[in-house]
Amino acid sequence: MNISSVKAYPLSIPRPRPTWTAHELSTASTLILVEVRTDEGLCGYGEVQGGPQALICRLIEQFGEIVCGMDALAHLEVWEKLFALTSPRPGGIRGSDGLPPPLPRGQRPQIMAALGGIDIALWDMKGKAANVPVYRFLGGLRQEVFTYATGGYYDVEAPLTACAEELGGFVAAGYRAVKLKTGALSLNEELVRIRATREAIGDALLMLDMNAPYTVQECIRFAHAVEPYNIFWLEEPLHWYLQPPDYVRLADAISIPLAHGEREWHRFTMRDFLVSGALRFVQFDATRHAGFTEALRIATLAEQHGVVIAPHTAPHIHGHLVSAFGASAFAAESHGDHERNPIHHGLYVHAPAMHDGMLHLNDRPGFGVEIDWTFVKQHQASS
């Protein structure tokens, strides 16, 4: 069974009101759906969360030409062949190995995203070929996977404590853990938001998603200030350029566990974070970079170092990994407000269901999703 075609469908839905994390403005919900077909008629679907969409789609199309004719079940061969394009290699500029010259180093994040989308589709296909869900393919059994709801994005027109009402609503709807965006405002303003949220959610778990706003010393001060509110973890607390030794310094100075990983591109940087001992939770995102193959490698390494996996977003994909890793996995992330991610809630005719604070994986083969092609046609963006 060989790969016959690879196609990308960029999707976009404008947001009614723009919102911020501590780092980025979001004006639209976006996603790239990746379809891989075989010469036997089997299809697999993956997805990419990244941009610019036009560049990633062009790379997916280029990669499709390269892997066309390869064994669709040989996901490692496909992964390594595409990953080789990110580095110089003997004879590479002449294409003597049948591959294009090394791709521009400035495109590496998008290259890893495009590779990841194709890889996820191959795992979906692998499950379909075996006629089992991916979590069963990996040896998992659990169909109910713990999940938490993320909210509290910054809306400059909303009251400071609007986040408390929002996250309190998630708990009322059955979630037992919620995550609040923090890091964009002054420490005193953030304390107002966090205090109000804790009062609104009662004893539910509360994580803080910080989007890399602080130096080590600034974060130590922040962590000591929020400690009375029983914080489950601090996620991405340090500036993007700070490295594992900086996380070690932070972990040694505070009592709140640290989580990190969604912005890392591959297992090699994650390896350094995992072996440092600074992290309690790893959040690698297969839909942003490198795909399910790399997420599985990272999860295995994390398990060996006593770090718990808590993959970032895309619960219908990452929930399979959480199921398979048992006690070495914490939860899959979701959004309690469907308007926060309207594409995920409209793209699929069938998909794992979310209710009572749990993700319910189904018995469908692969990742258990079926595409609503009318929805794709309605929201397809130009690439």
Same domain, 170 and 187: yes
Q: What does the block give as tokens for 66?
A: 């390269």
Same domain, 101 and 144: no
Same domain, 244 and 345: yes
Q: What is the pLDDT of residue 101?
A: 85
Q: What is the pLDDT of residue 383?
A: 61
Is 59 in contact with 111 (CB distance < 8 Å)? yes
Same domain, 327 and 220: yes
Domain carrying residue 54 = 3-131
Same domain, 57 and 162: no
Same domain, 43 and 178: no
Q: Is 381 part of a structural domain of the chain? A: no
Same domain, 173 and 240: yes
Cα torsion 321, 326, 328, 333: sign: positive
Same domain, 124 and 10: yes
Distances (CA, A) of 361 to 51, 298, 344: 29, 22, 15
Domain boundary among 89, 107, 131: 131
Contacts of 147 (CB under 8 A, 6+ apart): 175, 177, 315, 319, 331, 332, 333, 334, 354, 357, 358, 359
* 316: CATH: 3.20.20.120
Is 285 in contact with 262 (CB distance < 8 Å)? yes
- 250-270 tens-digit pLDDT: 999 999 999 999 999 899 999
Total structural domains within the chain: 2
| Residue ranges in the chain whose pLDDT is less than 50 | none
Same domain, 259 and 171: yes
Q: Is 383 part of a structural domain of the chain? A: no
Same domain, 205 and 347: yes
* Model confidence, pTM: 0.95
Q: Is 160 part of a structural domain of the chain? A: yes
Same domain, 17 and 141: no
Q: Rounded to 5 degrees, what angle do the CA atoms 149, 337, 379 make?
A: 120
Q: Is 155 part of a structural domain of the chain? A: yes
Q: Which pairs with CB-CB distance under 8 Å and at least 24 residues apart come from 257-264?
A: 257/232, 257/233, 257/281, 258/233, 258/234, 259/207, 259/233, 259/234, 259/235, 259/283, 259/310, 260/235, 260/236, 261/285, 261/298, 261/312, 262/236, 262/288, 262/312, 262/313, 263/212, 263/236, 263/288, 264/289
Q: Work out the number of other CB atoms within 10 angstroms of the CB of residue 310.
A: 26
Same domain, 190 and 126: no
